Amino acid sequence: MKEIFPVNIIRVSAVSYTNTQPFVYGLVHSAILRKINLSLDVPAECAQKLIHREVDIGLVPVASLLQITDYQIISDYCIGANGAVDSVFIFSNKPIDQVRTMRLDPQSRTSNRLARVLLKNYWMLSPDFVESGDTDAYVEIGDRTFGKKKHVNYVYDLSEAWTNFSGLPFVFAVWAANKSIPLDFISEFNSALKYGLDRRNEVIAALPLRVDFDLNHYLMNQIDFHFDDPKKQALRRFLELVKELELAENTATLT
């Protein structure tokens, strides 16, 4: 049976990765929880829910914004990084200039597009992309990558590569809405997110201990949660490059 929520309840989809736990903590421990229906999803699912209007607000991979009509970015906060982020990679069996085949990650459209943008514009490469099977390299994101880079021959942090290429930070996900949201709710929503960010030490203490990955450094230093002007500039630049990439791909398909 389809769930029915009161008309004043805002449906919110957040991402279920470690890097979003401060946001989730803030939402769950604030009074705004009474005003939302919160679901936790992988990035691709979060984007699809917002695109298909199954939720009203989502922490969406930024490449999906191109598929959302009249989207509004409603928050002062995001999932971003300035330099290496340590959870969005190309893992490879050989040096990047020798890669001929690559498998993309089904969990994130943005990281896949970032990889393709960088391969074309930074590394000047055009490998074949496949959905499954053995490949020279593959894109992988999120908690699955923690502690993995020391066990792979060649590792390329895509956020670090983007900064080297563009001189800008990178924005992986933003809080976007697919309809008009009341300003008082947006203010309360941002306050809830800030509440969680201000209590990252409590969030980290509650996470399972890892001996292969420094969660404290990751959440306190590597993830940059503030959607500031440099990140807004980076977002515009990235979406421009994605549009160019998709136009070139569509043109090639037609010829």
- SS3 breakdown of the chain: % helix, strand, coil, rounded to 5? 45, 25, 30
Rounded-to-integer distance, Cα 10 and Cα 57, Å? 8
Instruction: Decide whether 10-79+172-229 matches 88-168 in CATH topology.
Output: yes
Please give the pLDDT value at position 5. Answer: 40
Please give the pLDDT value at position 223. Answer: 97
CATH assignment, 88-168: 3.40.190.10
Task: Give average pLDDT by consecutive 10-residue segment, the chain, 255 residues.
Answer: 56 94 97 96 90 95 91 96 97 97 89 95 95 91 93 97 98 96 96 98 95 96 97 98 88 60
Please give the pLDDT value at position 204. Answer: 97
Fold (CATH) for 10-79+172-229: D-Maltodextrin-Binding Protein; domain 2 (3.40.190)
Please give the pLDDT value at position 73. Answer: 97
Please give the pLDDT value at position 252. Answer: 62
- Residues with Cβ < 8 Å from 111, sequence gap 6 or more? 61, 88, 105, 139, 141, 158, 172
- The domain ranges of the chain are 10-79+172-229, 88-168
pTM for the model: 0.92
For residue 133, CA distances in Å to 89, 102, 136, 138, 192 come to 18, 10, 10, 10, 43
